[in-house]
Amino acid sequence: MPKTALDIKRRRCDQKVRTITRGERIITSSVKNVPLTLEQRLAAYDPQRHGGEQMTTTQTLGAER
């Protein structure tokens, strides 16, 4: 959806919407943010993006020491 349409409808870029067409009309309505199920979260998990070490250091820190 174009940014100008988002501004007019007071929507955020990451907000979920439902779009319905009726004849020549396009109707968009907000979809409530429902918490994801465990299965949905696991399906969205990408080891390349979400895995790995977050703090790259050669020192041992905290409890690792």
pLDDT in tens, 41-63: 888 888 888 777 666 777 877 77
How far, CA to CA in Å, does 61 sit from each of 17, 51, 53, 56?
44, 20, 13, 11
Residue 16 CA to residue 29 CA, distance in Å, equals 9
pLDDT digits (tens, 9 = 90+) for 10-27: 666 667 778 889 998 888
Report the predicted TM-score, pTM, of the whole model to 2 decimal places.
0.34
Residue 40 CA to residue 45 CA, distance in Å, equals 9
Closest CA to 17 of 37, 9, 25, 40: 9
